[in-house]
Structure 1
Amino acid sequence: MAIYYNSVGIGDVLLIPLKQGNRETTDFRKYGDVIEIYDTESEQINGYNIFNSSTYLELTNGKHELTEELQAEINQIFVKNEAPNLLDVDLSPKFVVGYVKSKAKHENADKLSVCQVDLGDETVQIVCGAPNVDAGQHVVVAKVGAIMPSGLEIKAAKLRDVDSFGMICSQKELGLPNAPEERGIYVLTGDVEAGQPFNF
């Protein structure tokens, strides 16, 4: 999971996005330098902003991967500012290499395929609309809970009455440089195996 710090563009604030929120039902609670952003209807916490971040952490400008060590440091900041909740994020990789074990035609949609995808520790079903998906491919999978570069959160869903748990990604969806414009998933080549993290 990525967190963001940009002292030039934003100021001395660390941004910790957790979930996509609805602007109309979003509010915040302030605990010293910690701002807890939450949904007023569900009480779901959508993220945190930590003001005066440089007094607590040494961070360079840009995107940072949240590690167990960094999460522990952030929780110390929460305790110092008497924030009632601690940051408890599943830090397992959300973008991983998947192996398409099988592909079947979707019963209710001509342009959709139902794929069984090996993620190393589990096999999940993913409904995919890419024309080039096929059994035997290594692909990039955004697991449930992943936040795409566009800000889209990947959730378990039903697509035309078929369960889907994740998304098989294209280069464009991953925000990779020089991504092709034509539709199609990113088929990996070389020495890759199901379950290994995909870093981009």
Structure 2
Amino acid sequence: MLISSYNPAQAGDVLMLVVNQDQGEQAYEQKGQVVRIYAVKDQATLGFNFLEAKNVLPDLEGQGQVFLTAAQVAKLNEALVAVGFEAELVVDEEPKFVVGYVKEMTEHPDSDHLHITKIEVDGQKELQIVCGAPNIAVGQNVVVAKVGAMMPTGAIIWPGKLRGVESFGMVCSARELHLPNAPQVRGILELDATEYPAGRAFDFAKAANLFTPAQ
């Protein structure tokens, strides 16, 4: 997993990378212009911050989550080795926001509003996702934020449990995706299956025209 964020307006020329989910007590060590964040318990690397990132990646651009190419990841690994860290970064080109098809849905045994869904995503993979949206139903095409997705707020989607049931992603509403003119109401975004076939990456640019401005 490799989740990358670059926001020079807020954080300066710092590229922030997440490679593992946060766990317990954390610590950090700095070598040169690279900071490694790791778990105290088992020393596992959780992420890296590259200070003065444009010295390593002159072509780096973005305001939020960025998607690094294989060539860029290779340069970052070279920079890690140069300062004395291991080359731990692995390129991740798998789409994290995809169109999913709701195949099954059952009621949560310990909730009056949660649903346990089985959703088919890219690669014909099937994810179990617990969802509380009142309008979710079998047969819908929906937007799924998979594990490793970074929401527009900066929150990262990790595996979790809701009332004791495992969940591996999130079914998104238009407002959670920060789509222009999105209705400010509860409920997931239901997509037209012809325009947005299941199994494909969700097209944010295309979806920017889903809602017309309020008159």
TM-score by length of 2: 0.79
Mapped partners of 1:193, 1:45: distance in 2: 37
Kindly provide the amino acid, as one letter, of the partner of residue 14 in structure 2: V
Residues 1:129 and 1:137: Cα distance change in structure 2 (over 3 Å): same
Other-structure match for 1:62? 63
Checking the alignment, whether the CA contact within 8 Å between 1:97 and 1:139 is kept in structure 2 is: yes
- Identity across aligned pairs (percent)? 41
- Between Structure 1 and Structure 2, how many residues are aligned? 198
Distance 1:161 1:10, change over 3 A: closer
Separation in structure 2 between the aligned mates of residue 172 and residue 29 of structure 1, nearest angstrom: 38
1:178 shift after superposition: 2.5
Contact 1:20 1:153 in 2 (8 A): no
Q: Distance in 1 between matches of 2:90 and 2:99?
A: 25
- Quote the Cα distance in structure 1 between the aligned partners of 2:116 and 2:35: 42
Equivalent residues in 2 for 1:1-200, closer than 5 Å? 1-6=3-8, 9-19=10-20, 21=22, 25-58=25-58, 59-63=60-64, 64-121=66-123, 122-189=125-192, 190-200=194-204
Gaps of 5+ in 2: 205-215
1:14 alignment partner AA:
L
Q: Are 2:121 and 2:199, in contact at CA under 8 Å, matched by a contact in 1?
A: yes
Deviation at 1:55, TM superposition (A): 2.3
Deviations 1:170-200 (A, max 9, x none): 1222233333221100111242222211244
Q: Is the 8 A contact 2:78 2:87 kept in 1?
A: no
| Alpha-carbon shift at residue 113 of structure 1 (Å) | 1.4
Gaps of 5+ in 1: none
Distance in 2 of aligned mates of 1:144 and 1:12: 27
Counterpart of 1:197, as a letter, is A
CA gap 1:32/1:74 in 2 versus in 1, 3 angstroms: same
8 A contact 2:4–2:15 mirrored in 1: no
Q: Please say if residues 170 and 184 of structure 1, whose CA atoms lie closer than 8 Å, have aligned partners that are also in contact.
A: yes
| Matched position secondary structure for 2:133 | coil
Partners in 1 of 2:142 and 2:44 — Cα distance?
Answer: 32
Distance 2:135 2:83 in 1: 51
Deviation track 1:117-155 (CA, whole Å, cap 9, x = no partner) reads 111321122111000101111111111232323333323
Name the CA distance, whole Å, in 2 between partners of 1:159 and 1:199.
28
Alpha-carbon distance in structure 1 between the residues aligned to 2:57 and 2:142: 36
C-alpha displacement of 1:85:
4.0
Q: State the Cα distance separating 1:49 from its structure 2 match.
A: 1.5
Name the CA distance, whole Å, in 2 between partners of 1:53 and 1:104: 47
118-127 or 61-70: bigger deviation: 61-70
Opposite residue 194 of structure 1, the aligned amino acid is: A
**Contact 1:128–1:168 (8 Å) recurs in 2:** yes
Provide closer, same or farther for how the CA distance between residues 14 and 156 of structure 1 changes in structure 2, counting only shifts above 3 A. closer
Deviation digits for residues 41-73 of structure 1, max 9, x if unmatched? Answer: 343323211123222221235342122222112
What's the TM-score once normalised by structure 1's chain length?
Answer: 0.84
Counterpart contact for 2:69–2:91, Cα < 8 Å: no
